[in-house]
Every structure is written in C-alpha cells, then in structure tokens.
Structure 1
C-alpha cells in the first residue's frame, strides 16, 4: 500500500508501486486533468507537481510519490471557481485544443509559487519542457504574465 497526498487529501493506494502516477491519478482517483501525451516525459501534457516541483506523471512511478504531496490542475481551481492562473488562461484564450493546458497551468503555477513576478526569460525557460502543438505559446505567456500581475 502506498500513501500519498493529492490536492490536500490523503490516499492509500493498492496499485503496483511501479505504476506511473498518471495512471493512478486518472484510473484510481478519477482526476483526469493530466493527459497522456507521449508517455516518455517529453511533451508535458501529464505535468503535475510533486512537493511543489513540476514532474511528468507518465514517467514518475507511484513509489516515488510515497509520503509526498501531489498537486494536479484540479487542485488549483474548478470550472465554477477557477484559480487566478486558470482564469488568466481563460481570459487570454490560451487554449486552442486544450490538450496541453492542464500541464501548462500546473507547470506555470509551480513557477509563480516560487517566483511571484518572473521575467519573460524566466517564464520561457521554466515553461520550455511543455509543448503546445497548436502554437498558442504567446497567449500562454501573456496569461502567465497577467496572473503574475504584469502587463500581458
């Protein structure tokens, strides 16, 4: 049995410790925000926070999460009450297909939690591991700047 905390709630999971965290979140906990993209930790659609740091949940085994805190996009707000960053993504129409957005928001939130007013260079460098195949990068950057209280 593996004990983890997800979005502030404790869970005892019977899944095989080698199971990727992404599958545990989606199949065991019904948290479907993180998406399966490449399955190799190269696209970022599956990004969640582990103890405040962004990780690719598709290549992070459940065992690596034992006793640690996981935060998913569902832990940042909801459709009815979006968090500040989620609201900025909506306002700036940062999503086109929407597939990468949960991972983008989770990674961006990790940056803003650490650096409340990042520079454009810090944002670009931090967001680089996550891909948007639709090409909305400029709107994503504008949304992050707006959530940080900077001019979009």
Structure 2
C-alpha cells in the first residue's frame, strides 16, 4: 500500500520539477533533461514489469495534462519505452550494469525522439534543422552523464547482481 503512494509522490515531484523548476533555470534545460523519462527508464530496468507499466502510465498521464502535444503522447512514449527496455533486458542484457542502464536510457530517448518526429512530420523544416539535432545530441550527453551519476550513487541502494560497472 505504501509503495504505490510513494511512487505517485515521486512522479508528481518529478513532473513538477520538469514543468516548473527546469524552465526557470533556462529555456534549453527542459529540452536537454527529461526527468520523468529517466525515471521510467530506471524503473523499467530495475523493477518488475507491472510496476514499471504503472509508473509509465501514471507519469504519462501527469505529463500529458500539461503537454502541448496530443493527449497520450507521453503515455505512449513511456509505455513503448518500458516495453522496449524490458524486451532488450530479457533477451540481450545479461546483468543490470552500467552498460545496460546507459542503453536503456538511450532506448527511451530514441523512442521519445521517434514519436516526436512522427508528430512533427508536417513541420519538416524544423526537423531537418541543425539546432534540432544539436539538442538531441545534447540530450544524449546530459542523460548519459545523469545516468552515470544515478548508477553510481543509487545503484548500491537498489542492489545489483554483479558489482561490475561493465560486464
């Protein structure tokens, strides 16, 4: 009973930080850093499937409420990210190490970008611009660095099967 309430509060906190605090730090910060997407990728790799789907649906619902995209955009992104990460984890990743954690976050960013590109299909001039791809590269770098920080600070608390960073 306490776990869903705690997860809901964490998701609400991350959505509030994403929507209100990050834009006040700079206009480009929310474009580079997506905290709910990072949380969904972490939960998809480290938690069981049912709980990860619950987190994806709840985070998608909260972000879709404030999103300029169509309703269901973030829900679709988060659910597809969880499904893709779980598929790769069950079939290709051997352990929950730093490499699999970085690839899981890369997969979630690629799903986010692919669905975003489908949404921006009619605005082809914006998609083909250099600044669009520079922000995507910056997003990959920022999420990669934050993933490394999360792995080394929170990894021992969650527990791993292997103590190796890369195996």
- Fold conserved between structures, TM > 0.5: no
Greater fraction helix = 2
TM-score, L = length of structure 2:
0.29
Larger radius of gyration: 2
Greater fraction strand = 1
